[in-house]
Structure 1
Amino acid sequence: MRTALFVPASRADRIPKAVASGADAVVVDLEDAVAPEDKAGARDALAQYAAAHPGDRLWVRINDGSTPWFDEDLAVCRSLPSVAGILLPKAEAPDHVYRVSGAGKPLIPVIESAAGLQALERIAEAHGVVRLSFGILDLMVEFGTRPGTDAARFVLDQTRLRILVASRMHGLRPPLDCVHPDFTDLEALERSAAFARDMGFGGMLCIHPAQIPVVLRAYQPLPQETDWARRVIDHADSTGEYAFRLDGRMVDLPLIERARRILEGST
């Protein structure tokens, strides 16, 4: 999952466009994109769309466990076979994570508060969690961080590092980076996606179809990387050597593992 594109549940007419966007996952949003008075209608629209399009494998961002909509959101996700997984926003109470994992769907908790960061290890170890993500805008509001500053970038990168460490410690798939809110600035998006990729992230949450090809390109291995990886694996497999010289540089087990991951990502 390199790209996960949000679409409001209250605008079910936009779901086919999101499905056709090329995104690896479409996330139907019952949370921030839906006004409180529209929650029930959005939930019904999701159910109706899923029933009419059983072949569309949709993820759903439900409302968080502190809201009055949490239980009903969870119930509708549990009842729909075409719901492929659940995003839990503002994940901070491990018992909420356990309740969502009980729905039997793959789960991505989204860390968006200091409490979520504090409980990160317990969240990451919960049954059913497949990967992590985070929301930097909510975190910066809580911290009082000024957006667009060097300090904001420091907070972003520190949060990324904590998410990466928790993901690796608990054997989760590479995490998804937070959204890039300015969907008109594709150059900045490309830089941000490349930076997160180089850190070890596996993809990004997206808010507009125009972001999809940019992020997909960023997470696609470069031809020279794929060529290097293939030659590393060919040499290791044919000789049984796990320490050798290639292109004037030493290759050992960590680089062989990196080569395997590059090839897995290019297929």
Structure 2
Amino acid sequence: MVFDASADNSLVGGTDRKDPQLLNAWLPSGPALLFCPADRPERYQKALDRADVVILDLEDAVSPDNRAAAREALVANPIDPDRTIVRINPAGTGDYRRDLAAVAETNYRVVMQAKSEDVASILDTALQTIALIETPLGATRANEIAATSNCIGLMWGAEDLVAGLGGSSSRFGPDEPRSGEYRDVASWVRSMVRIAAAAHGKFAIDSVHLDIDDVDGLIAEVRDAVALGYTATACIHPSQVEHIRAGYRPSDEAVEWARRVLEGAAEHNGGVFSLDGQMIDGPVLRQAEVVLSRVASGESTEDS
């Protein structure tokens, strides 16, 4: 594992930072990340064929009695490590140590640490780690966790968060105003995770939409995630993949605008200029770069 305190981080979700971090850190190859239970090896390749990245889950998707078998399956059924994340159990548990031992027997190099709560537990993985912020304590430490050198990205989760609050629902119910939307505390953590990731030049993954039949709700959340600079959205069912990809795919008009912005910036040597009556400066230029990066990401995924 190579660390470089002066590494120049490339544009990630609209940020340009220089923070201590990994050289050549892994990035998702596309915006749709599909969870797959690690104790169902017959689904590994199918999930990878349907999505941009598969998250092989050793935690919530696997019952405690099946975790030993899940780890054996993880080792015995390799898939493309460049498009695979392994979700491991929370630090401080026996399963956590056994998960890391299993990952060490594979070519996988990216883990997602469930219920991440402190810097030490991220460093302890000695792997490129996506910190899953889903507890009250983790939420209060999101900024410090994002700054950790081997933390390459953040994701957040609503259900464990609400359970940790002693609550009963992360979303407003059908008989309440704003039905189906996140309650304010969940929305706050979603915002904090995005801000912490951006502050340290790391990517951010939006949480799963558990109601598979609520396509309109999923589409709305993806649209909002894209507007806020999220890099990807996780999902639990293959039917959600195309809605996520479509939401992250820039329109033809947006791509044309972005290309004109970059051409104008080259003509003006990076200085401020006007395009169709809009002042184009550094922040707008970075937004254009993000649009084109999403096009490149989509083309790369289709070619794989």
TM over 0.5: yes
Greater percentage in helix:
1
Q: Can you list the C-alpha shifts for 1:15-36, whole angstroms capped at 9, x where unaligned?
A: 1210110x22111111011111
CA pair 259-152 structure 1, distance change in 2 beyond 3 A? closer
Indicate yes or no: 2:154 matched with 1:132.
yes
Indicate yes or no: 2:244 matched with 1:215.
yes
Tell me how far apart the structure 2 counterparts of residues 27 and 94 of structure 1 sit (CA, whole Å).
Answer: 22
| Alignment partner, residue 100 of structure 2 | 74
Indicate yes or no: 2:282 matched with 1:257.
no
Q: Pick one of 211, 215, 221 that aligns with 1:182.
A: 211
8 Å CA contact retained: 2:52, 2:83 = no
Point out the more displaced range, 150-159 or 211-220.
Answer: 150-159
Tell me how far apart the structure 2 counterparts of residues 180 and 202 of structure 1 sit (CA, whole Å).
Answer: 16
CA pair 224-91 structure 1, distance change in 2 beyond 3 A? same
Q: Can you list the C-alpha shifts for 1:141-197, whole angstroms capped at 9, x where unaligned?
A: 222264432584322321122112211221212x00011001122221111111111
Indicate yes or no: 2:72 matched with 1:49.
no
| Alignment partner, residue 130 of structure 2 | 108
Aligned with 1:60: secondary structure? strand
8 Å CA contact retained: 1:57, 1:84 = no
Aligned with 1:266: secondary structure? helix
Tell me how far apart the structure 2 counterparts of residues 120 and 95 of structure 1 sit (CA, whole Å).
Answer: 13
Amino acid at match of 1:118: T
8 Å CA contact retained: 1:145, 1:152 = no
8 Å CA contact retained: 1:140, 1:152 = no
Q: Can you list the C-alpha shifts for 1:117-154, whole angstroms capped at 9, x where unaligned?
A: 12222211222111100111111222226443258432
| Alignment partner, residue 26 of structure 1 | 54
8 Å CA contact retained: 1:4, 1:206 = yes
Q: Pick one of 171, 180, 202 that aligns with 1:148.
A: 171
8 Å CA contact retained: 2:81, 2:109 = no
| Alignment partner, residue 229 of structure 2 | 200
Report the Cα offset of residue 241 of structure 1.
Answer: 5.4
Q: Normalised by the size of structure 2, how large is the TM-score?
A: 0.80
Q: Normalised by the size of structure 1, how large is the TM-score?
A: 0.91
Point out the more displaced range, 141-150 or 40-49.
Answer: 141-150
Tell me how far apart the structure 2 counterparts of residues 49 and 196 of structure 1 sit (CA, whole Å).
Answer: 33
CA pair 24-90 structure 1, distance change in 2 beyond 3 A? same
Tell me how far apart the structure 1 counterparts of residues 67 and 55 of structure 2 sit (CA, whole Å).
Answer: 16
Where do 5+ consecutive residues of structure 1 fail to align?
none
CA pair 158-54 structure 1, distance change in 2 beyond 3 A? closer
Indicate yes or no: 2:61 matched with 1:60.
no
Amino acid at match of 2:279: M
Indicate yes or no: 2:115 matched with 1:85.
no
| Alignment partner, residue 96 of structure 1 | 121
RMSD (Å) for aligned C-alpha atoms: 1.8
Indicate yes or no: 2:190 matched with 1:160.
yes
Tell me how far apart the structure 2 counterparts of residues 257 and 31 of structure 1 sit (CA, whole Å).
Answer: 37
Report the Cα offset of residue 87 of structure 1.
Answer: 0.6
Tell me how far apart the structure 2 counterparts of residues 95 and 40 of structure 1 sit (CA, whole Å).
Answer: 26
Tell me how far apart the structure 1 counterparts of residues 163 and 292 of structure 2 sit (CA, whole Å).
Answer: 39
Tell me how far apart the structure 2 counterparts of residues 138 and 15 of structure 1 sit (CA, whole Å).
Answer: 25
Indicate yes or no: 2:276 matched with 1:247.
yes
Tell me how far apart the structure 1 counterparts of residues 57 and 248 of structure 2 sit (CA, whole Å).
Answer: 24
8 Å CA contact retained: 1:230, 1:263 = yes
CA pair 172-237 structure 1, distance change in 2 beyond 3 A? same
Aligned residue pairs total 259
Report the Cα offset of residue 57 of structure 1.
Answer: 4.3
Aligned with 1:110: secondary structure? strand
Tell me how far apart the structure 2 counterparts of residues 26 and 84 of structure 1 sit (CA, whole Å).
Answer: 13
